[in-house]
């Protein structure tokens, strides 16, 4: 018997399914792309249990002819390309002819289809390795695909699926991308009968579509961009720098209507904004690129999520320059809302400070070690407890604020020299510790609102909010649902007072939770995610760099620092203060 | 332009208008004040584009004209002048020469043409009210104005005139104050507008300096409002937007009605509030038969408790408030006794004076 044998079709299909069908969202993606390729103007997606139990995608597209119905179920059967040359000019979303057989091989698969000009439709049923059964049936024009018990015969895959909520989130994100790329179609997503997204009206403009999906706050803060040359046409919308996010979740790229991930484009966006955005803040972009199919290769990954440009440099430059051109034109920079906390640091100034610090350190090292001289800059080496005791003494004794520099740093005098305090970092530390202890003791009090605030959320974040409503309530937010993706804030944490933007805070918190794909506050202690949320809250609630402080406010800050268990660094690890001892001052002025 | 003025009068006028001078500005002209001549008077004006203040003072005019001069510097100079009078003359290129006895100053001015135009109002559409009434209405509502710029319509006092009544309302979303009075205006006159807090602050500063029995005339044009009292006019841009439907959130009914001495409630709240923490400020009001126990507690600090005798005989209940909200109302209510109207620990509380059309609504805290 020969050792090397051809694999059976069934095995081939399953291997292929492994590549194309990772999770329920992949199924939805393949089916949606088929629907779009079929010219549908109305697509409805229904899922149950995150898509693991049931996925149903129905469209009003052209349907499949009788003689094609069974062929469609075979591997590499496609109507979209016919010869090798066509591969270089792919215009449709799907083309590999792998989707249907792959899906069918790992699920209980059903299809009902009727071309518009036929009187009867056909129903096909297929499950795992069984042969398809074909039956005549009456049905609406178009195609409906029903996928049940996904991965029922590949338990290994099933085991790797995340929670239903996570799978739903993946599907929501995917439908969102499709909805963005085709604002002309009516699309909706339902889970277990409840609406998650849409139905979005037909024939929306791209901007209307963005507004329906992400709310008017986003839509009102967009700058339209448009640019083209002989090869590329770029259009879309980018957020004004004042509206930015802690991650790149709001960056959408579409190449010839196909939603793609691209580090290249992500980098180009970052470069286009340049110093308009602070470190680790991301703009939101909705960029639609049309490019001749010859110049891209979509066939490098089975899910077609990634794409290769034949001339990457040209593409990069084109995007950077387009963004820069429009950002400059719009004079988007001087909006007052832009939070100065995120101001890009003045590099020259930073350099000077760093120089001074390193100078200071080397001097300290080489000179005689007096016990009174402490190197506050090299925190790692601290024995915190001992340091704290001594430090508190110096603080409580005589630490007096003297002045504020650049509305950012506070100069204070201690019993043993001079302190330079970063006001934002210091307040962050103080607030962080206060919030943590209030939360730990279940002591966050909540102020009810006489006039509630409206909150519009993108659908992904809306789901996260719903899943974590308990946690937010513990945080002092009382939020109730008010129509689709729209919420009402009835009560807010009392500790922030009037000076913060609660909507921004909530949306930052939700973004963080969605990034880590978890549930917050599920464990009794303070896990990493909850901790991250405290950091966001602390940052938002704190005095910003650039805020003018009165003497009383400076004194309050020092008092607050004094109560902290780790007063030397902010929750993100930056130092809150630099110290220069009297001894050191004397040395520098050559008195000693 | 050539004028001569009394030092004291000019100083007073400068003091009034300097409130709208910008100290630092990207537009240098805004740090100047404008001096313009009329027949027998001069008009001093300052503006920061949002808010303008003008003050008319007497002067002898030898040559009419107008100029603008750096405001703070001029104010300092005039205060230090040696005699009670001084002359001011504008030569070519807005060079200003100021002489008093032997002291001579030369200042670089800027042309009047560069100074922003301050909106003018035709007196015909104005209405007037007594200064003390206006002052009282503002005083009783200004403390609950919001400072949250994301809800900018709340960052001012809402004023409406309808059917011969003037109302002022402010809310920061957590509490609200409302006051109403009758004034003598045409019953058909109807106005609804939001006066920004900055204008309120400056207006109050000026009103406090004026005598009691003065009429203030108020006029509104497009998105501007002006208040004119004696020789002073304040003009401000209005907040553009829709004030929330405040009537909806004022409770119409209550289960509990209590009358208390204002002073008692105020002092007790203050006393107890000392032991509420800065970050989760709340004071608990526990009602039981014939008594109201007020208490506060902060982890790691301690607690406080005090008791008032009250005429309460409903079912026991507890409610938490930010003490600042209570103290603000009681400090400004100007009535020896107040009535508290409550329903339960989730619904707002209404505080009313024993007489007068005033009320404050405060939302409770969940403690």
By Cβ distance, the residue of A476, A491, A503 closest to B150 is: A503
Q: Give the pLDDT of residue A533.
A: 85
Does residue A468 carry a pLDDT above 50? yes
- The closest alpha carbon to A219, from A34, A458, A386, belongs to A458
Q: Which of A356-365, A409-418, A575-584, B242-251 shows the lowest mean pLDDT across its residues?
A: A356-365
Instruction: Search chain B and give the residue with CA nearest A473.
Output: B366
Calculated CA dihedral for residues B139, B145, B147, B153, nearest 10 degrees: -130
Q: What confidence category does residue A16 fall into, taking pLDDT thresholds of 50, 70 and 90?
A: low
Say whether residue A494 is in contact with chain B using an 8 A CB cutoff: yes
Closest CA to B177 of B159, B191, B189: B159
**Is the pLDDT reported for residue A359 higher than 90?**
no
Lowest mean pLDDT among A52-61, A514-523, A528-537, B59-68: A514-523
C-alpha span between B354 and A42 (Å, rounded): 65
Indicate the pairing of strand A446-456 with strand A486-493. Answer: antiparallel
Which range (A386-400, A549-563, B268-282) has the least confidence? A386-400
Reply yes or no on domain B251-362 having CATH 3.40.50.11540: no
pLDDT score for A382 = 40
Label the pairing between strands B41-47 and A486-493: unpaired
Under the banding of pLDDT at 50, 70 and 90, the label for residue A568 is: confident
Determine if the pTM surpasses 0.80: no
CA B155 to chain A, closest CA, distance in angstroms equals 11
Pairwise CB contact (< 8 Å): A449 & B361: no
Q: What residue of B is the nearest CA neighbor of A442?
A: B367
* Residue A333: predicted pLDDT: 33
Tell me how far apart the alpha carbons of residues A262 and A271 are, in angstroms, rounded to a whole number. Answer: 14
Query: Which residue in the set A443, A450, A452 is minimally distant from B348, CB to CB?
Result: A450
Q: Domain B2-114 adopts which CATH fold?
A: DNA Polymerase III; Chain A, domain 2 (3.10.150)
Contacts of B299 in chain A (CB under 8 A): 437, 441, 443
Looking at residue B210, its pLDDT comes to 85
Nearest Cα neighbor of B244 from B170, B314, B332, B313 is: B170
Q: How far apart are CA B207 and CA B201, in angstroms?
A: 10
Rounded Cα gap, residues B308 and B321, in angstroms:
17
Contacts of B320 in chain A (CB under 8 A): 445
User: Which chain B residues touch A if contact means CB-CB below 8 Å?
Assistant: 146-151, 154, 171-176, 244, 249, 279-282, 299, 320, 322, 346, 348, 361, 363-367
CA distance A253 to A180: 10
| Predicted local confidence at residue A205, as pLDDT | 86
Predicted confidence band at A514 (pLDDT cuts at 50, 70, 90)? confident
Say yes or no: A488 contacts chain B, CB-CB below 8 A.
Answer: no
Mean pLDDT, rounded, for A325-341: 48
- Option in A444, A498, A501 nearest B147 (CB): A498
Which residue's structure tokens are 């006001």?
A423
**Measured distance CA(A556)–CA(A562) in Å, rounded:** 10
Q: Name the strands in the sheet holding A186-191, side by side, starting at the edge strand that comes first in the sequence.
A: A133-137, A121-127, A108-114, A142-148, A54-59, A42-48, A186-191, A194-197
SS3 B203: helix
- Is residue A295 a contact partner of residue A313, using CB atoms and an 8 Å limit? no
Q: What is residue A291's predicted lDDT score, i.e. its pLDDT?
A: 85
Judge whether A169 is closer than 8 Å to chain B, CB to CB: no
Question: Does the structure show a pLDDT above 90 at A383?
Answer: no
Helix/strand/coil for A274 = helix
pLDDT for position A371 = 36
Mean pLDDT, residues A244-261 taken together: 85
Contact flag A494-B365 (C-beta cutoff 8 Å): yes
The minimum CA-CA distance between A555 and chain B, rounded to whole Å, is 15
Please give the pLDDT value at position A380: 38
Does pLDDT of A360 surpass 60? no
Q: What is the pLDDT of residue B177?
A: 96
Could you give the 3-state DSSP secondary structure of residue A373?
coil
Mean of all residue pLDDT scores within chain A: 77
Q: What pLDDT shows up at residue B295?
A: 93
Task: Give the integer Cα–Cα distance in Å for B366 and A515.
Answer: 31
* Spatial separation of the C-alpha atoms in residues A490 and A502, rounded to whole Å: 12
Q: Is A297 helix (H, G, I), strand (E, B) or coil?
A: strand
Residues A391-397 have a mean pLDDT of 50
Q: How many residues does chain A have?
A: 592
Q: What is the pLDDT at residue B256?
A: 87
Is residue A358 very low, low, confident or very high in pLDDT (cuts 50, 70, 90)? low
Give the DSSP per-residue string, A133-154.
Answer: EEEEE---SEEEEEEESTTTT-
Using CA atoms, how far apart are residues A335 and A239, in angstroms rounded to an integer?
Answer: 13
Q: CA neighbours within 13 Å on the CB side: how many for A198?
A: 28
pLDDT of residue A95: 59
Ranges of beta strands (E only) in A138-221 are: 142-148, 186-191, 194-197
Spatial CA neighbour of A363 closest among A589, A592, A584: A584
Task: Report how far apart, in Å, the C-alpha atoms of A400 and of each of A223, A324, A382, A394, A516 are.
Answer: 47, 46, 24, 10, 42
Query: What are the chain B neighbours of A452 within 8 Å (beta carbons)?
Result: 173
> Highest mean pLDDT range out of A77-81, A105-109, A291-295, B109-113?
B109-113
Residues of A in contact with B158 (CB under 8 A): none
- Please indicate whether, in this complex, the C-beta atoms of B363 and A447 are within 8 angstroms of each other: yes
CA distance A421 to chain B (A): 22
Partners of A493 in the β-ladder: A446
Q: Is A338 on the interface with B (CB under 8 A)?
A: no
Residue A117, preceding bond cis, omega within 30 degrees?
Answer: no
**ipTM (interface pTM):** 0.77
Q: Identify which has the larger pLDDT, A354 or B193.
A: B193
**SS3 at position A176:** helix
Q: Is the pLDDT of residue B307 over 90?
A: yes
Mutate to test the interface with B, among A335, A445, A475 (most CBs of B within 10 A): A445
**What's the whole-number mean pLDDT along residues A519-539?**
74
Q: How confident is the model at residue A368 (pLDDT cuts 50, 70, 90)?
A: very low
What pLDDT, on the 0 to 100 scale, is given for residue A338? 32
Closest-CA distance, A453 to chain B, in angstroms, reads 8
Return all residues near B163 (Cβ < 8 A) that are at least 6 apart.
B187
Say how far apart CA B42 and CA B282 lie, in whole Å.
54
Higher pLDDT among residues B221 and A298, named by residue: B221
Predicted confidence band of residue A373 (pLDDT cuts 50, 70, 90): very low
- Supply the pLDDT for residue A365: 42
Do B123-247 and B251-362 share a fold?
A: yes
Rounded CA separation A539/A534 (Å): 8
Chain A contact set for B322 (CB, 8 A): 447, 494
Measured CA to CA in angstroms, residue A70 lies from A1, A123, A410, A443, A481 at distances of 34, 11, 76, 64, 46
Interchain pair A443, B280: CB under 8 A: yes
**B47-92 tens-digit pLDDT:** 988 899 999 999 999 999 999 999 989 999 998 998 899 999 998 8
pLDDT of residue B148 exceeding 60? yes
Q: Where in chain B are the domains?
A: 2-114, 123-247, 251-362
Contact A449 B363 (CB under 8 A): yes
pLDDT band per the 50, 70, 90 thresholds, residue A344: very low
A-B interface: how many C-beta pairs under 8 angstroms?
72
Long-range contacts of A261-269 (CB under 8 A, 24+ apart): A261/A305, A261/A306, A262/A306, A262/A307, A264/A309, A264/A312, A264/A315, A264/A316, A265/A315, A265/A316, A265/A319, A267/A316, A268/A315, A268/A316, A268/A319, A268/A320, A268/A323, A269/A238, A269/A319, A269/A323
The whole-angstrom separation of Cα B218 and Cα B129 is 8
The answer to whether the CB atoms of A447 and B244 lie below 8 A apart is no
pLDDT tens by residue, A489-507: 999 888 877 778 888 888 8
**Candidate from B148, B279, B320 with C-beta closest to A498:** B148
Residues forming a β-bridge with B57: B42
Interface of A with B in 395-454 (CB under 8 A): 434, 437-438, 441, 443-453
Picking from A114-123, B51-60, B221-230, which range would have the lowest pLDDT averaged per residue? A114-123
Candidates A242, A441, A451, partner chain B, best to mutate (most B CBs within 10 A): A451
Protein fold of B123-247? DNA Polymerase III; Chain A, domain 2 (3.10.150)
Determine contact, residues A565/A549, Cβ cutoff 8 Å: no
Instruction: Kindly tell me if the per-residue pLDDT of A112 is higher than 90.
Output: no
Q: Do B282 and A445 touch (CB under 8 A)?
A: yes
Please tell me the predicted confidence (pLDDT) of residue B297.
87
Yes or no, beta carbons of B146 and A498 under 8 Å apart: yes
Of B151, B174, B361, the CB nearest to A447: B174
Select from B148, B171, B366 the Cβ nearest to the Cβ of A446. B366
| Close Cβ partners of B194 (under 8 Å, ≥ 6 residues apart) | B153, B156, B157, B158, B159, B238, B239, B241, B243
Band the pLDDT of A342: cuts 50, 70, 90.
very low
Residue of B nearest to A440 (CA): B299
Q: Return the number of other C-beta atoms located less than 10 Å from residue B174's C-beta.
A: 26
Token reading at A210: 């963005």
pLDDT more than 90, % of chain B: 65
Neighbours of A406 (CB within 10 A): 9
Q: What is the predicted pLDDT for the residue at A81?
A: 62
Whether B365 and A444 lie within 8 Å, measured CB to CB: no
Structural tokens at position A27: 């199924």
Cβ of A446 within 8 Å of Cβ of B154? The answer is no
pLDDT at residue A6 is higher than 80: no
Query: Is A450 within 8 Å of B361 when comparing Cβ atoms?
Result: yes
> Mean pLDDT of all residues in chain B?
90
């Amino acid at each position: 018997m020969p050792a090397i044998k051809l694999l059976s079709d069934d095995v081939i299909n399953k291997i292929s399914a492994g590549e194309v069908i990772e999770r329920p969202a992949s199924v939805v993606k393949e089916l949606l792309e088929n629907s779009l390729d079929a010219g549908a103007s109305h697509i409805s997606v229904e899922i149950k249990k995150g898509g693991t139990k049931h996925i149903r995608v129905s469209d009003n597209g052209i349907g499949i002819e009788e003689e094609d119905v069974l062929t469609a179920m075979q591997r590499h059967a496609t109507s979209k390309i016919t010869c090798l040359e066509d591969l270089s000019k792919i215009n449709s979303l799907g083309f590999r002819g792998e989707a249907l057989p792959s899906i069918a091989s790992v699920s209980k698969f059903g299809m009902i289809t009727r071309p518009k000009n036929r009187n009867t439709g056909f129903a096909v049923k297929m499950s795992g390795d069984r042969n398809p059964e074909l039956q005549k049936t009456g049905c609406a024009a178009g195609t409906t695909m029903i996928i049940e018990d996904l991965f029922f015969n590949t338990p290994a895959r099933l085991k790797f699926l995340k929670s239903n909520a996570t799978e739903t989130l993946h599907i929501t994100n995917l439908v969102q991308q499709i909805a963005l790329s085709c604002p002309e179609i009516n699309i909706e997503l339902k889970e277990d009968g409840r609406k998650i997204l849409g139905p979005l009206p037909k024939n929306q403009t791209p901007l209307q579509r963005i507004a329906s999906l992400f709310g008017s706050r986003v839509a009102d803060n967009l700058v339209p961009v448009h640019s083209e040359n002989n090869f590329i046409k770029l259009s879309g919308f980018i957020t004004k720098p004042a509206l930015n996010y802690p991650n790149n979740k709001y960056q959408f790229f579409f190449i010839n209507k196909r939603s793609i991930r691209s580090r290249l484009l992500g980098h180009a966006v970052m470069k286009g904004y340049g110093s308009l955005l602070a470190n680790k803040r991301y703009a939101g972009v909705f960029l639609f690129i049309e490019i001749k199919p010859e110049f891209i290769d979509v066939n490098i990954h089975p899910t077609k999520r990634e794409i290769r440009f034949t001339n990457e440099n040209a593409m990069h430059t084109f995007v950077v320059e387009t963004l820069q051109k429009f950002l400059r034109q719009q004079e988007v920079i001087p909006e007052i809302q832009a939070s100065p906390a995120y101001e890009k640091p003045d590099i020259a100034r930073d350099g000077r400070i760093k120089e001074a610090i390193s100078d200071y350190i080397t001097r300290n090292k080489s000179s005689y070690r007096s016990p009174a001289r402490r190197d506050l800059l090299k925190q790692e080496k601290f024995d915190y407890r001992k340091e704290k005791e001594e430090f508190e003494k110096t603080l409580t004794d005589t630490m007096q604020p003297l002045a504020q520099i650049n509305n950012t740093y506070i100069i204070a005098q201690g019993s043993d020299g001079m302190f330079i305090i970063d006001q934002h970092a210091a307040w962050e530390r103080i607030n962080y510790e206060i919030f943590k202890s209030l939360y730990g003791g279940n002591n966050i009090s909540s102020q009810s609102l006489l006039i509630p605030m409206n909150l519009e959320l993108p659908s992904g974040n809306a789901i996260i909010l719903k899943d974590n409503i308990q946690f937010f309530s513990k945080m002092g937010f009382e939020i109730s649902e008010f129509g689709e993706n729209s919420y009402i804030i009835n009560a807010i944490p009392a500790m922030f007072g009037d000076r913060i933007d609660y909507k921004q805070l909530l949306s930052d918190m939700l973004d963080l939770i969605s990034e880590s794909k978890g549930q917050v506050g599920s464990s009794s202690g303070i896990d990493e995610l909850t901790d991250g949320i405290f950091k966001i809250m602390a940052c938002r609630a704190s005095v910003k760099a650039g805020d003018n402080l009165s003497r009383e406010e400076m004194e309050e800050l020092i008092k607050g620092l004094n109560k902290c268990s780790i007063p030397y660094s902010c929750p993100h690890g930056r130092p809150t203060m630099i110290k220069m001892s009297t001894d050191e001052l004397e040395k520098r002025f050559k008195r000693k | 332009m050539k004028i001569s003025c009394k030092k004291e009068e000019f100083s007073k006028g400068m003091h009034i208008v300097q409130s709208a001078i910008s100290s630092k500005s990207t537009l240098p002209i805004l740090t100047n004040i404008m001096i313009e001549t009329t027949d027998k008077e001069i008009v001093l004006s300052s503006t920061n584009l949002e808010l303008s203040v003008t003050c008319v003072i007497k002067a002898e005019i030898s040559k009419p004209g107008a100029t603008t001069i750096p405001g703070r510097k001029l104010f300092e100079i005039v205060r230090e002048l040696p005699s009670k009078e001084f002359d001011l003359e504008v030569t070519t290129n807005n060079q200003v020469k100021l002489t008093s006895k032997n002291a001579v100053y030369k200042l670089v001015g800027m042309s009047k043409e560069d100074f922003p135009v301050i909106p003018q109002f035709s007196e015909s559409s104005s209405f007037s009210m007594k200064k003390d009434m206006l002052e009282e209405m503002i005083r009783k509502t200004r403390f609950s104005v919001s400072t949250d710029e994301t809800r900018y319509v709340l960052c001012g006092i809402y004023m409406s005139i309808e059917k011969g009544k003037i109302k002022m309302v402010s809310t920061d979303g957590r509490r609200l104050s409302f006051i109403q009075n009758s004034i003598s205006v045409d019953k058909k006159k109807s106005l609804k507008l939001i006066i920004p807090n900055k204008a309120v602050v400056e207006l109050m500063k000026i009103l406090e300096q004026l005598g009691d029995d003065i009429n203030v005339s108020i006029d509104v044009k497009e998105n501007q409002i002006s208040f004119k009292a004696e020789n002073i006019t304040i003009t401000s841009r209005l907040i553009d937007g829709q004030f929330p439907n405040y009537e909806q959130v004022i409770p119409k009914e209550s289960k509990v009605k209590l009358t208390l001495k204002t002073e008692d409630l105020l002092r007790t709240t203050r006393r107890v509030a000392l032991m509420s923490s800065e970050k989760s400020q709340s004071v608990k009001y526990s009602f039981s038969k014939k008594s109201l126990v007020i208490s506060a507690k902060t982890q790691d600090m301690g607690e406080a408790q005090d008791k008032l005798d009250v005429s309460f005989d409903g079912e026991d209940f507890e409610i938490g408030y930010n003490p600042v909200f209570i103290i603000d109302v009681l400090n400004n209510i100007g009535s020896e006794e107040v009535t508290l109207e409550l329903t339960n620990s989730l619904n707002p509380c209404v505080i009313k004076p024993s007489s007068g059309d005033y009320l404050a609504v405060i939302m409770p805290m969940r403690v």
